[in-house]
Structures are given as C-alpha cells and as structure tokens.
Amino acid sequence: MAKSKWEQVKDKLILIEGWARDGLTNKEIATKLGIGETTFYKIINEHSEVSEVLKKGKEVVDYQVENALLKNALDGNVTAQIYWLNNRKPKQWKNKRNEEEYSENGTLAKAIQKAYENKVGDT
C-alpha cells in the first residue's frame, strides 16, 4: 500500500529543515517532496511538527544574514548602515519625510538641520 502524503512528509522532516536552512521556498520544498504546494500548506497547517522544522531551518539563515548585515554595517558599509537604521529605528531614520516637515521649514537644508538637531537632542 502506498504511503499517504503526510507519511511521505513525516519521513523527511530533517530534509525539510535543511532545505529551509538552504533558503528554499515552501513551493520549492513541496516540489522536492513530490507534492503540490497546496497539499504542502495543508500538511503544514495540520501537523505542527512541519511548521516547526520550517521555522527552525529558516531561523538559522535569518540570524546568519542579520549577523552579516550587522558586520557590514559596523565595517562601514553605508548601504548596510542605512538599511539597518531604517528597519531598527524607523521613527528616527525613515526614508521619506512628510511634506509638512519640508513645507514648515521652507527648504531641504532646513529640514536636514532640524532632523540633525533632533538627533543630537536624542543622544
């Protein structure tokens, strides 16, 4: 008798974790398992052990990328620094300024000066 889709997946939990750690998407993992993406999502929702190994596998890579980003930022990579600050401190380092901030100050130079003064005052 053929194995059910769940039994096929259950026997490959370690592989699933590794594939997730290698950066494969859920769709790619489903393909490697020989099942459809919809079936894979159904199995994920019905069997917590699958979602747990996916999370565990992806978490490792996420930490590695975060560490690499931080290292690059600390080594002086301006793009990494901007990205880090925009995401970690969005209130202070957001990309877009409100039009009101520009119009109340009159010029971009004044808006930058005001932002700098606010930054200095925060430290």
- pLDDT (average), residues 77-90: 90
Q: Do residues 1 and 8 lie in contact, with contact meaning Cβ atoms separated by under 8 Å?
A: no
pLDDT tens digit string along 10-51?
Answer: 889 999 999 999 999 999 999 999 999 999 999 999 999 999
- Range with top average pLDDT, 66-75, 83-92, 95-104, 108-117: 66-75
Backbone angles phi, psi at 98, to 5 degrees: -65, 145
**pLDDT greater than 80 at residue 115:** no
Per the model's pLDDT, the better-predicted residue between 103 and 39 turns out to be 39
For all residues of the chain together, what is the average pLDDT? 85
| CA 29 to the chain's CA centroid | 19
